[in-house]
Structure formats: structure tokens, C-alpha cells
Amino acid sequence: MTREMIAILDFGSQYGQLIARRVREHHVYSRICPAGTSADELAKMPLKGIILSGGPASVYAPGAPKCDERIFDLDVPILGICYGMQFGCQILGAEITPVASREYGRATLRMTDRSDLLANLPDETLVWASHGDQVTKLGRDFVTLGETKTCPYAAVRHKKRRFYGVQFHPEVSHTPKGDIILKNFLYSICDCAGDWKMSDFVSETIDNVRRQVGDATVICGLSGGVDSSVVASLIHEAIGDQLVCILVDNGLLRKNERENIVATFRDHFHIDLRVVDWSQQFLYRLQGVTDPQQKRKIIGAEFIAAFKSEAEKIPNARFLAQGTLYPDVIESGSKDGNPAANIKLHHNVGGLPAELGFELVEPLCDLFKDEVRMVGEHLGLPDGLVWRHPFPGPGLGVRIVGEVTPAKLEVLRAADEILIDEIKAAGLYRKISQALAVLVPVSTVGVMGDERSYENVIALRAVETTDFMTADFSHIPHEVLGLISTRIINEVRGVNRVVYDISSKPPATIEWE
């Protein structure tokens, strides 16, 4: 189906796919393309505009990513963001240099021209900046649209070419008016119609799965979380009984998790669900391991072994379906040559197809969490599944800082259950995007029953976000936090202190490990 689209040329930004997601929020189809995509290839697409993403490199660094300069001759508007602005401005005659006062975090943007890109904005607004280089000599062919205290050319427009640039990130939630800037670009500058819908994605994905799979069997690793549940439902919609789901009990699940998954998918939805109890193998391999990346690698290796043990029993199984989302992909390293920095490993990204001998089916890998929920609602999944908080693939193994033991798991399961129960009772579960308890390897002095205690610390974390690439800590009322703390200390043996994590992402990640 031919439709209007915005192409995002990805220079390795941690927010590259977030830009695409923001565009789709405005009902305009977007596609991530490698930075080196030629102008000829782009000209074959139904383009309404191009966005050049940010990236970690300097435009002058050896090997810095570049794009085909002929894109500036295409008759479509181009918006450069951060590195994308610097690259575009450099190509069009401006000078870029490192600056003494690097901007990182919130800055105040003051408007000097609100005729197009910055239309409908106040005189000043907060923006999220992250750059060490910036435009220092603009040249006569540019117009300045906005400035910050340390960046005189924070937003610009070329007089002759249809190029715009911003030296900040309008796509992140930390830029409150960024949505207006993107809307101005899409509708006022690119003249988009805005007729793309999530139902288009669902129908096209179902067709793509049918074409890819044919009459083969697809195996899906089912955890009971939103992502794997939506994947299972989407693929079941496409191929029915050709789908077989496998639940690996790694011993790192939440309390009663295994029983709840079986009741939901095998008993209610009548999906072919196989359960593999591999808990002893996981816990044995994790003995004495404290490094979080090593824990993830071990859990990934054992997951493969457990999967193999069951997958070998399934005839005609050629495909493996996974609920990989784009935040998983981009935080795990590279996709399609994307040079984004590696932050942490995910056992469900990279390596699994080769290890297991299956072709991979990842129907959600270009979506963010809230978009996956939209797909789930469109497919008719129950609210309890659609709105369930994310749970990491390595389970509680990465919510215990340090060595994982059966005793620590029991402590964490009990604390986690109290946290979730109380935020649900307070009516906060849907407001909070993700809540978790972390067992910290620190013992502190306390007084319990008139006696000195020296026991564990539980850290609580709750965040609010729409994209899981950026997040702010949730402002849970003090009385609710107090109730959670009191219950954990009174009911969970081995805990005498509860703390609340008030860091945002970035610079922190949502999970602790």
C-alpha cells in the first residue's frame, strides 16, 4: 500500500527510533533508514520529508557517519536534529566547532523567529540538549530561529534549501513543547495528511507473518508479559495452530507467575503452551556470579539450552517468534549498522536465531511499549494483560544486585508482591509505567522488637514514561510509600529498610542492572 512517509536517516542516536515513534503519533508513517541510504533510493519512496537523527559522533571525527549529500537536492523538507543539524549545516556552508560549555540536560530556548518550525510556541520554552559541538558560524544563507544561553544558533532555517535544524532533541519527553515542533514540521512544512493508523500496522504485520512463515510451525517464547502476549496473539491471529508457545521457568519469575501464565494462555486462550522447568539449572549456573552483564549472559545461555530441550520435540518448527521491542534493540547495540552506544545486554536480542537454528520472527521490533499496548487493544486482549508493567527477560536475576540465591529470591518475590498490590490498591498502577523492587546487597542497622537488627535493604523504583527511552520517577504519595515500606518491613523476613529511587532516565536506566 502506497502512503506518505517520513524517512529518518539514523546517525546512531539513542533516540533514533523515538523520532519515528513521535512521527507515527501524528498519524504519519515513518521508516528508519541507515544514514548512508542513497538519494536515489529515497527518491523511490513516497517521501513527504526527511529527518536527520542525532548521534554520538563529531562531524569532524574520523569515520563519522555521513549521508548522501544529494538528499539536499530532493524536493522535500529536511529537519536535522543535533548531529543531524550539524551535518546539514556543515554541508550547506556553516562552521561547526567544539565548544567550551557543553550543553547536557535542560536548557531554555528563546525564540527569534516563530514563522514556521517554531510556530505556536511561547517566547521561551525548555528543551533537552546533549551536544559538545555546535554551529559557530552560520553564514548568510541561514536564518536563526531560536537560541539558548550558550548556543546562539539553537534552531535555524536555510533561506534557499528546505532545510531546518535544531540543536536539541524535540522528540524526548524532557522537551515539553517538542511535540509542537514536530507537528509544525510534519503538517505546516511537509504538508502531511496524517492518515496512518495502528490498524494498518496490524493488518500488514499479519500478512507479512503469513508470507514469511508459510505452512511451517512458529515457536514463541511466552513469558506472560505484554510483549510476548501481544506477539503470541498477533501470530496466532495470522497462523492459528501453527503456533506453539514455550514457557521457560527459570526460577527467576515473580510469585505465582508460572501458574497464572498457564491459566491464561493454555486454559483460557487454548494456545498450545509447553512449560519447561529449568529453574535448578539457572540457579546453579548463577552461583557466585555478581557482574550484571555476566548474569545476563548466563541466563541467556541457559534460556537457549532450555528452549532447545523443548523445541527439538516440535515437528516442522522453523521459526522463532520474539517480543523484541526497539528499546531492547537499541540498548543492546546495533541494528542495521546503527552505531548507537551499547548500554546493556538483553538475552532476547542477537544470537538466538543462530544458536537455536531458527529463522527469527520479530513483529514488534519497530514499536515502543505504548504502541504494543495499542496493538494488544486492537487484537482484543484483556486490559490486565495489555496494561501489565514490563518485566525483564532475565527476571528477578537482574533485580538482585550481586549474587542470586534462592533465599534472596524469596525475599524479593515477597517485597515485589507487596509493592504491586499496594500501587494497584491506591489506583496508581495505570499511572505508573513500571514499578519494581530491587534487593540491594547492603545490610543496615535497625531496631526490631527492641533488638538490634542488621538486615537487607529493598529499593523501590517506579517511573512514568511513554516511550521507555526517557523516564521520570513517579511521584507516589508519601502515605502510599509509607504503607508499602511498613508492610515490607513487617511482613518480609530479612528486610529492615526500604528506600525509594528518584533518579530519571537518562542518566539512570529503569532497571538497576
CB contact set of 295 (below 8 Å; sequence gap of 6+): 286, 289, 394, 397, 398, 404, 513
Report pLDDT digits (tens) over 485-504: 999 999 999 999 999 999 99
Average pLDDT over residues 427-452: 83
Beta-carbon-side half-sphere exposure of residue 444 (alpha carbons within 13 Å): 13
What is the dihedral angle through the alpha carbons of 141, 146, 149, 154, rounded to the nearest 10 degrees? -60
Minimum mean pLDDT range among 46-55, 76-85, 266-275, 338-347? 338-347
Q: What are phi and psi of 330, to 5 degrees?
A: -75, -30
> Quick one: pLDDT at residue 130?
77
Are residues 72 and 56 in contact, defined by beta-carbon separation less than 8 angstroms?
no
Would you call 97 helix, strand, or coil by DSSP? strand
State the average pLDDT over residues 283-301. 94
Residue 17 grid cell? 527510533
Distance CA 136, CA 153 (A): 8
Q: Catalytic residues, which ones?
A: 82, 169, 171
Share of the chain above pLDDT 70, in %: 90
* pLDDT tens, residue by residue, 380-431: 888 888 899 988 889 999 999 999 999 999 999 999 999 999 999 999 999 9
pLDDT greater than 60 at residue 352: no
| pLDDT on residue 266 | 86
For residue 5, the number of C-alpha atoms closer than 13 Å in the C-beta half-sphere is 17
Dihedral sign computed on CA atoms, order 16, 18, 24, 28: negative
In this predicted structure, the answer to whether residue 253 has a pLDDT above a threshold of 60 is yes
Closest CA to 513 of 407, 389, 411, 394: 394
Q: What is the mean pLDDT of the chain?
A: 88
Contact of 112 with 153, CB cutoff 8 Å: no
* Distance (Å, whole) CA 94 – CA 156: 11
Q: How far apart are CA 507 and CA 105, in angstroms?
A: 10
Instruction: Tell me which DSSP letter residue 266 carries.
Output: I
CA 32 – CA 7 distance, rounded (Å): 6
Three-state SS annotation for 442-457: EEEEEEECCEEEEEEE
Q: pLDDT by residue (tens digit) across 310-349?
A: 999 999 999 999 888 766 665 554 444 444 444 444 444 4
C-alpha 351: how far from chain center:
20
Question: Residue range 221-236: average pLDDT?
Answer: 90
Which of 35-49, 135-149, 263-277, 333-347 shows the lowest mean pLDDT across its residues? Answer: 333-347
Q: Is the pTM of this model over 0.85?
A: no
Per-residue pLDDT at 224:
83
- Give the model's confidence band at 448: pLDDT under 50 very low, under 70 low, under 90 confident, else very high: low
DSSP string, 354-401: HHHT-EEE-TTTT--HHHHHHHHHHTT--HHHHTPPP--TTGGGGSBS
Average pLDDT over residues 423-443: 95
pLDDT tens digits, 11-32: 988 788 789 889 999 999 898 8
83-92, 296-305, 379-388: range with lowest mean pLDDT: 379-388
State the pLDDT at residue 341.
44
